């Protein structure tokens, strides 16, 4: 690898990763110990009256028919200071929602796959400057479609692993763009199918034109689904086995899986609005972009690992230098951000959002994390010494909920920083 020929932001990452190598510790099969150790909420500057206010908003979301139940958790390396659970696991259900309720976490899968990818970078199994075609040959000689004229021309830039991590690949999500010609082509390529593998989906998408030149624009997309297929090829094993080896076993995340065993059916959260896939229905698709199910208690382990700079309970997943590199601003000023969810605010790293914390400008400091379309979110804020999760199960439905994945973040910051 010739560092002088790499782009500046890639050079910075590569140098950071080369400085240190993280070893993945073996999971020794120890008995499951809860990741939730309760401590006083005042450690976070949140008193009981503020917790009560948050809980009232959560209850109002249930009473108003926006969700059946929801969970909010705030923690740091010392423990969990806020854990509020309100409502039931689903409509017409009596089981109360709790930290062992299983959720479809959808795009909260993406950061897990991104971290697994970077652990493979550390181990020399893959490089972020690698062309995607090195692992999936169908991505060689891609074409780009002009959004206005429909003209299709050869791509000038080659799609890289970095482009997949940053959503600058030229891929899209057909479900978010169903009226466009390219969006309809995605449906025809099987972008909503579960009876094909992630590699087969990636190969199908490679036959379609890109929305834009790789590396020139941010557009939320099937990038992490393709990334999942790429690291399967690079590792020589399926994505579920790869994540188990590199993330789940070391962290003790024994409840985080692509599909849920039937013995756990009574713990699955169900939406009050919108249709969601049945987690018990095992199929070939292992979606790196949105296929995982998890519990609040399990995902705390992943969030706390990130909060602790890449390690949890003595198990190092990635080096602190790698994690810092993942939280660089990768959109920057030179990349078109017309399609960026947050407009001119914030940025994107290698698998995480970067949002300015209250009082900060767009140069940071940032919190980082991501959300799921089913109503879940997590953020990690090292500056204010906390991470948080909000878990609900809803897709669509009426707008104006008194608590949701966005308002939960605001409520925690307001309570903590007032």
pLDDT at res. 185 = 93
Residue 85 sits in a domain whose CATH number is 3.40.710.10
Q: Which comes out higher in pLDDT, residue 398 or 322?
A: 322
In a domain, 135, yes or no: no
Mean of pLDDT over the chain? 92
Domain count, the chain: 1
- Summarised one tens digit per residue, pLDDT across range 100-136 is 999 999 999 999 999 999 999 999 999 999 999 999 9
In a domain, 70, yes or no: yes
Query: What is the average pLDDT across 284-311?
Result: 98
In a domain, 386, yes or no: yes
pLDDT at res. 55 = 98
Query: What is the average pLDDT across 234-252?
Result: 98
pLDDT at res. 2 = 28
Say if residue 88's pLDDT is above 60.
Answer: yes
Query: What is the average pLDDT across 256-276?
Result: 96
State yes or no: cis peptide before 365, omega within 30 of 0: yes
Res. 31 pLDDT band, cuts 50 70 90: low
In a domain, 328, yes or no: yes
The DSSP 8-state label assigned to residue 203 in this structure reads H
95 CB burial (10 A radius; 0-12, 13-18, 19+): middle
Determine which of 18-27, 88-97, 204-213, 276-285 has the lowest per-residue pLDDT on average: 18-27
- Summarised one tens digit per residue, pLDDT across range 155-182 is 999 999 999 999 999 999 988 888 889 9
pLDDT at res. 179 = 81
In a domain, 225, yes or no: no
pTM (global) more than 0.75:
yes
Say if residue 67's pLDDT is above 60.
Answer: yes
Q: Which domain holds residue 51?
A: 36-124+237-417
In a domain, 139, yes or no: no
In a domain, 17, yes or no: no
pLDDT at res. 20 = 32
Res. 1 pLDDT band, cuts 50 70 90: very low
DSSP string, 208-238: SPBSS-TTSB----THHHHHHHHHHHHHTS-
Q: Are 316 and 341 in contact (CB under 8 A)?
A: no
Query: What is the average pLDDT across 250-271?
Result: 98
Res. 231 pLDDT band, cuts 50 70 90: very high
Residue 210 token pair: 């890109």
Query: What is the average pLDDT across 275-298?
Result: 97
Q: Are 367 and 388 in contact (CB under 8 A)?
A: no
In a domain, 381, yes or no: yes
pLDDT at res. 27 = 37
């Amino acid at each position: 690898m010739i560092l002088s020929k790499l782009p500046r932001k890639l050079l910075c990452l590569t140098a950071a990763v080369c400085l240190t190598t993280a070893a993945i510790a073996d999971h020794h099969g120890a008995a499951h110990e809860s990741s939730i150790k309760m401590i006083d909420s005042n450690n976070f500057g949140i008193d009981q009256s503020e917790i009560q206010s948050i809980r009232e908003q959560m209850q109002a979301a249930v009473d108003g028919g926006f969700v059946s139940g929801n969970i909010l958790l705030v923690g740091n390396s010392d423990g969990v200071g806020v854990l509020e659970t309100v409502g039931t696991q689903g409509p017409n259900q009596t089981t109360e929602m709790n930290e062992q309720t299983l959720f479809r976490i959808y795009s909260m899968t993406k950061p897990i796959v991104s971290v697994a990818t970077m652990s493979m970078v550390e181990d020399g199994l893959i490089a972020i400057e690698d062309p995607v075609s090195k692992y999936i040959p169908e991505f060689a000689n891609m074409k780009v479609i002009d959004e206005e004229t429909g003209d299709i021309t050869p791509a000038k830039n080659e799609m890289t692993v970095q482009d997949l991590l940053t959503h600058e690949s030229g891929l899209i999500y057909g479900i978010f763009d169903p009226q466009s010609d390219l969006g309809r082509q995605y449906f025809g390529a099987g972008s909503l199918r579960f009876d094909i593998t992630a590699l087969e989906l990636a190969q199908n998408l490679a036959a379609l034109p890109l929305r834009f030149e790789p590396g020139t624009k941010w557009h939320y997309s099937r990038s992490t689904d393709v990334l999942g297929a790429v690291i399967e090829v690079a590792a020589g094993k399926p994505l579920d086995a790869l994540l188990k080896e590199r993330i789940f076993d070391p962290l003790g995340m024994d409840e985080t899986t692509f599909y849920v065993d039937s013995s756990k059916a009574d713990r699955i959260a169900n939406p009050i609005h919108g249709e969601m896939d049945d987690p018990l229905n095992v199929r070939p698709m292992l979606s790196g972009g949105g296929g995982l199910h998890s519990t609040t208690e399990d995902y705390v382990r992943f969030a706390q690992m990130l909060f602790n700079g890449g390690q949890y309970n003595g198990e190092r997943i990635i080096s602190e230098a790698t994690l810092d590199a993942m939280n660089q601003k990768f959109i920057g000023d030179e990349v078109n951000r017309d399609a960026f969810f947050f407009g001119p605010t914030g940025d994107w790293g290698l698998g995480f959002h970067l949002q300015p914390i209250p009082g900060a400008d767009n140069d940071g400091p940032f919190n980082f994390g991501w959300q799921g379309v089913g109503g879940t979110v997590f953020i990690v804020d090292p500056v204010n010494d906390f991470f948080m999760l909000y878990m609900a199960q809803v897709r669509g439905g009426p707008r104006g909920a008194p608590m949701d994945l966005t308002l939960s973040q605001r409520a925690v910051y307001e309570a903590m920083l007032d």
